């Protein structure tokens, strides 16, 4: 497979989940078991194709667009159907196909009420198409279409299969993200009409070295900032996230944390920085301050939580703060840190939500006090897995969570590039506060492990038979457990892929 001529492979991979959703819609609803396994088959075929694309990817030319298709789409508005992969988008694209496969395997045994696997898996496949398209679209209009596509399936996944407050959480998610999208679309239109652009093509706009003057870029960046910051989500635009995660079904939370949140940070890196570099330079210190506030705020909120899933949700606010701190550094190391942090968070926090879902299946509650301690006694394998993933999330060296956080802080104060030379005192203060956030992160995760794993089971659970990790859980979790270690021991699995692409992108940003 030649990555320069096999654009068809990317298109097939992109729309295969959508075709699979159509296939599931044709299956009789009574075929419950067959529908669940069809979901596994569809996601497995799509993932196998993405593995083949990854194997054929020319890593020596990762800064160039590969598997590219660029054809006229809507001639009336000069929009093209332009999809491709480079070193920045490939790891996220890969993750977008791995997680739905693992979720489909998990669903063969565990599906929340009211069941209906045909609708559930169909919405998951539609969501996968929207997320994957966002990472490969190189036309602003096409990017916006895929960006908006994810709203509907996630709204119904939360609203139909979520917890007791699912209607509130789903509407809040929908309205928040739609509100941000409106400002983002206005900014895209301004770039085209007021900024003097003649194309919607992201690569062409980036290579042009900036659209419009400094004042225009500042206002346009503000509009794009709202759209992407809400999706990340950054403090103070984060309030939809804890509710959405808490009420979402397990699969919804895994995909929301594992992939959907990455759309916002990816948008900053792919679109906002290279197309509006002067606006990005002006906003970078503000982004850095908000990111660090989010790190501390998320950690303090975690310390106050009584619900395991809500604690993990607030931890995402802090972890994504480190990603945004890397972006705010405005240098190559910072962008590398942000992209690595995206993948690490997707793998680690996605796994944490799998564990939280299975915890609820066993105890029928997520309240830490009701569960009590003694999981090392009652379900020791589960307790070990929870410990392993929690220490990865708190940033233990040798596991995936460490490199994104450490590199982001290092990049923020590195001289000779970015904004550390201009705002040295501010960025040093931000890194010091962020480092305090890592201590708080260790504190709330270790406290969680102490309360749940150690000690003896409470009287309520002492004689209650609880099943340890099931076979379907081992199968659906093992790839993530391996990746957590592999990314920690050999971070070049991600860093090495994106080097050239990040170098090209920062050349446009700093050159603009």
Query: CB count, 10 Å around CB of 152?
Result: 14
The Cα–Cα gap between 431 and 410 comes to 8
Quick one: pLDDT at residue 348? Answer: 95
Candidates 189, 201, 184; CA nearest to 83 is: 201
Q: Using CA atoms, how far apart are residues 491 and 14, in angstroms rounded to an integer?
A: 27
Q: Where are the alpha helices (DSSP H) in 329-458?
A: 332-363, 368-371, 375-378, 380-393, 400-412, 424-453
Phi, psi of 497 (to 5 degrees): -70, -40
Per-residue pLDDT of the chain (512 residues; tens, 9 = 90+): 677 777 889 999 999 999 999 999 998 888 888 999 999 999 999 999 999 999 999 888 777 889 999 898 888 888 899 999 999 999 999 999 999 999 999 998 888 767 788 899 999 999 999 999 999 999 999 999 999 999 999 999 998 888 888 889 889 888 888 888 899 999 999 888 876 677 888 988 888 877 878 888 899 999 999 999 998 888 888 888 888 888 889 999 999 999 998 999 999 999 999 999 898 888 899 999 999 999 999 999 999 888 899 999 999 899 999 999 999 988 888 999 999 999 999 999 999 999 999 998 888 888 888 888 788 888 999 999 999 999 999 888 999 989 989 999 988 888 766 666 677 688 889 999 999 999 999 999 999 999 888 888 887 887 778 888 899 999 999 999 999 999 999 999 888 888 888 888 888 887 74
Q: What are phi and psi of 73, to 5 degrees?
A: -120, -65
pLDDT for position 421: 64
Q: Which neighbouring-strand residues pair with 66?
A: 85
Q: Model pTM? A: 0.92
**Interaxial angle between packed helices 424-453 and 277-303, expressed in degrees from 0 to 180 and rounded to the nearest 10:** 30
Please provide residue 137's backbone torsions phi and psi, each rounded to the nearest 5 degrees.
-75, 130
CA 226, CA 188: separation in Å to the nearest integer? 13
Paired sense of beta strands 79-85 and 66-74, if any: antiparallel
> Positive or negative CA dihedral for 58, 59, 61, 63?
positive
Task: Retrieve residue 269's tokens.
Answer: 């890196």
What does the alpha-carbon distance between residue 487 and residue 350 come to, in Å, rounded to a whole number? 15
**pLDDT for res 58:** 86
Best CA proximity match to 11, nearest among 49, 63, 61, 39: 49
Tokens of 468: 């340890």
The pair of structure tokens assigned to 342 is: 């995206």
Alpha-carbon torsion angle 224, 221, 242, 343, nearest 10: 90
Burial label for 76, CB within 10 Å (0-12, 13-18, 19+), is exposed
């Amino acid at each position: 497979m030649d990555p320069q001529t096999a654009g068809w492979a990317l298109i097939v991979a992109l729309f295969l989940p959508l075709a699979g959703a159509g296939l599931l819609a044709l299956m009789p609803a009574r075929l419950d078991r067959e529908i669940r396994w069809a979901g596994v088959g569809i996601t497995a075929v799509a993932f196998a194709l993405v593995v083949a694309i990854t194997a054929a990817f020319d890593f020596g030319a990762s800064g160039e667009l590969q598997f590219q298709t660029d054809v006229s789409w809507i001639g009336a508005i000069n929009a093209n159907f332009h999809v491709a992969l480079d070193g920045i988008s490939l790891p996220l694209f890969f993750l977008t196909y791995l997680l739905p496969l693992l979720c489909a395997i998990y669903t063969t045994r565990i599906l929340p009420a009211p069941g209906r696997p045909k609708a559930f898996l169909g919405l998951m496949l539609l969501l996968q198409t929207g997320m994957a398209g966002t990472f490969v679209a190189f036309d602003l209009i096409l990017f916006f279409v895929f960006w908006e596509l994810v709203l509907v399936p996630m709204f119904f996944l939360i609203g139909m299969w979520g917890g007791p407050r699912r209607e509130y959480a789903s509407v809040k998610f929908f309205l928040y993200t739609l509100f941000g999208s409106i400002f983002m679309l206005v900014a895209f239109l301004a770039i085209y009409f007021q900024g003097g652009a003649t194309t919607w093509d992201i690569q062409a706009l980036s290579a042009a070295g900036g659209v419009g003057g400094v004042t225009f870029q500042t206002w346009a960046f503000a509009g794009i900032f709202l759209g992407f910051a809400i999706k990340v989500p950054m403090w103070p635009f984060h309030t939809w996230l804890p509710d959405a995660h808490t009420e979402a079904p397990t699969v919804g939370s895994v995909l929301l944390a594992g992939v959907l949140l990455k759309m916002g940070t990816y948008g900053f890196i792919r679109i906002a920085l290279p197309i509006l570099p002067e606006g990005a330079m002006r906003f970078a210190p503000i982004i850095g301050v908000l990111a660090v506030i989010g790190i501390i705020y998320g950690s303090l909120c975690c310390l106050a939580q009584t619900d395991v899933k809500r604690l993990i949700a607030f931890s995402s606010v802090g972890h994504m703060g480190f990603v945004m701190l890397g972006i705010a550094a405005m240098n190559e190391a910072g962008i590398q840190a942000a992209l690595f942090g995206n993948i690490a968070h997707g793998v680690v926090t996605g796994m944490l939500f799998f564990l939280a879902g299975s915890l609820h299946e066993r105890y029928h509650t997520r309240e830490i006090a009701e569960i009590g301690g003694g999981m090392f006694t009652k379900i020791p394998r589960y307790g070990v897995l929870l410990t392993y993933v929690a220490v990865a999330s708190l940033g233990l060296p040798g596991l995936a969570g460490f490199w994104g956080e450490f590199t982001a802080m290092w990049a923020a104060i590195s001289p000779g590039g970015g904004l550390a030379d201009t705002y040295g005192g501010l960025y040093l203060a931000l890194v010091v506060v962020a480092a305090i956030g890592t201590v708080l992160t260790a504190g709330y995760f270790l406290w969680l492990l102490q309360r749940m794993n150690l000690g003896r089971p409470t009287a309520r659970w002492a004689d209650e038979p609880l099943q340890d990790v099931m076979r379907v859980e081992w199968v659906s979790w093992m790839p993530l457990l391996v990746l957590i270690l592999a990314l920690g021991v050999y971070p070049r699995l991600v860093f090495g892929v994106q080097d050239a692409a990040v170098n090209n992108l920062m050349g446009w940003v700093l050159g603009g």
